[in-house]
A = this chain, B = another copy of it.
Amino acid sequence: MRTNSERESFKPGNMLYPVPAVMVSVKKEGEKPNIITIAWAGTVCSDPPMVSISVRKSRYSHEILKETGEFVINLVNEDLNFACDFCGVKSGRDTDKFKEMKLHETVSKEVKAPGIAESPVNIECKVEQVIELGTHDMFIARVVAVSVSKDYMDENGRLDLKRASLVAYSHGEYMKLGKKLGTFGYSVRKNKNNKKKRNK
């Protein structure tokens, strides 16, 4: 066992990175839709497919989420990054974010909230549980529909998400995904390429 002399202790904090920075769209009946950027988001179950997003109680969208139980997660690529940051800083109480950022709505299949047409992937979700944790409430939701921009389908009609230039959020910075290091399971597949990677 190594000594810990090369490490520094930090106070307990939010240090799990990279995380996604996704744009979540919501809509209350009779009102304009809103967009809130969420970094405290992730997949929480494979089958049924489920996600969670955590939202501060004070946020404008928190009330809409509580009331409607529906939202759309819109993945963020390089072109959307400026709008993503803007939607995380400004409040929907006094800003029409779709208009301000020149974004277009898509018609969702299973929920009333629209998706963002400029986003590579729209994930429609229905809330199943809300868990109060402290500053944030966690909305655990089931994925009920997914739509993908045809720009990211390859010649065989398969989704190639690499083409989308997705963005991750890491310790206060937005970073574009860069070099591919491997595909799931590459460490145990037997081929030359593998050994090279391991011994590098």
Partner of A171 from the list B20, B129, B161 (CB cut-off 8 Å) is B161
Among A82, A106, A153, which residue has the most Cβ atoms of chain B within 10 A? A82
State which residues 172-194 of A face B: CB under 8 Å: 172-188
Q: State the copy count for this chain.
A: 2
Partner of A7 from the list B89, B106, B171 (CB cut-off 8 Å) is B106
- Once the chains bind, are A9 and B109 in contact (CB under 8 Å)? yes
- CB 8 Å contact bits of A127-153 with B (1 = contact, 0 = none): 001010111101010111111111101
* B residues in contact with A25, CB < 8 Å: none
Partner of A75 from the list B17, B50, B133 (CB cut-off 8 Å) is B17
Give the Cβ gap from A93 to chain B, nearest Cβ, in Å: 16
- Once the chains bind, are B149 and A7 in contact (CB under 8 Å)? yes
Given contact pairs A7-B150, A106-B4, A138 touches B45 in the complex (Cβ within 8 A): yes
Say whether A99 faces chain B, with CB atoms less than 8 Å apart: no
Given contact pairs A175-B181, A179-B175, A1 touches B105 in the complex (Cβ within 8 A): yes
User: With contacts A18-B177, A46-B135, A85-B184 known, what are 5 further pairs, Cβ within 8 A?
Assistant: A7-B106, A8-B153, A13-B49, A16-B22, A45-B138
